[in-house]
Amino acid sequence: MDRYIRDISSLTAEDLKNYDWDIIELDFDIDHAEMREWYNTIATQYPDMQFNVSKTELMKPEIRDRMMEFKEQHLWGTPKQWTLQWSVQRNDAIPFRYIADPAQYPEILQDDFDEKFNTPLEQYYFGGFKNLVDRMGADAWAVARLVQLDKDTGLKKHVDIQPPQFLPRMHYQIEYTPRAHWWFGENMEREYTLENGKLYIMNTAVLHTAKNEDETPWVMLHSNPTDEAINNLFNMIRNG
């Protein structure tokens, strides 16, 4: 299996559950101008709704003091993200569930939180993003986040999930520059340059880093598609 895959003619989601590949480039037509307009609207109208690890006041009290140490160990700069789905409608910044303060986000304690988690937040569910969900299905955009990496910002060497599990993540490049880097491998020996307006699947069980070294923000939309959603997407591409 190639580490950078373009030919998906015989691939299934099951084939992705290994450490033998890094990135899949998908030939899936997306209206890039529409996606940029969607992002620009969110960045302009909802800047206060982005979450980053400096907003420790939104986290569980017992972990707040450790977050600056975490930031130093795992991040360059301060990545920003908008959480696009949640179990209830909210109009504020939303942390990752596992670090959110239950006093401020009591819905995370509800028994049906997981069942309702992928409910789109109405302020983000329009334009290009809504069209992608309508075309590809909600399961393709589960756990969707809009991420912005400013200059000298990124994630240091890590995996997104621990063995023996695998987590193929879908990434769409809204604003990309050749000085925005993906590196994979134990020694970050494999570097990839992506393309603006392209859709990819990343093997986040393989060690990797991502860093933007350009003045232009690197903006991406990513999600955790289900196996069924991946197979459906592959079939959509194969069938034209």
pLDDT < 50 stretches in the chain? none
> Residue 68 has what pLDDT?
83
CATH number at residue 61: 2.60.120.330
> Residue 113 has what pLDDT?
97
Helix axes 127-136, 32-45, angle to 10 degrees: 130
Residues in contact with 194: Cβ distance below 8 Å, sequence separation at least 6, in sequence order: 173, 176, 180, 182, 200
Question: What does the alpha-carbon distance between residue 236 and residue 124 come to, in Å, rounded to a whole number?
Answer: 25
Give the count of domains, the chain.
1
Domain that holds residue 97: 4-8+15-238
Quote the tokens at residue 17. 């559950």
Q: Is the dihedral of CA 81, 84, 88, 90 positive or negative?
A: positive
Which has the closest alpha carbon to 143: 218, 86, 219, 90?
A: 86
Q: Give the torsion through C-alpha atoms of 180, 184, 189, 194, to 10 deg.
A: -40
**128-179 pLDDT per residue, tens:** 999 999 999 999 999 999 999 999 999 999 999 999 999 999 999 999 998 9
Write the Ramachandran bin of 205: left for phi over 0, alpha for psi from -120 to 50, otherwise beta: alpha
Q: Which single residue is written with the structure tokens 């942390």?
A: 95
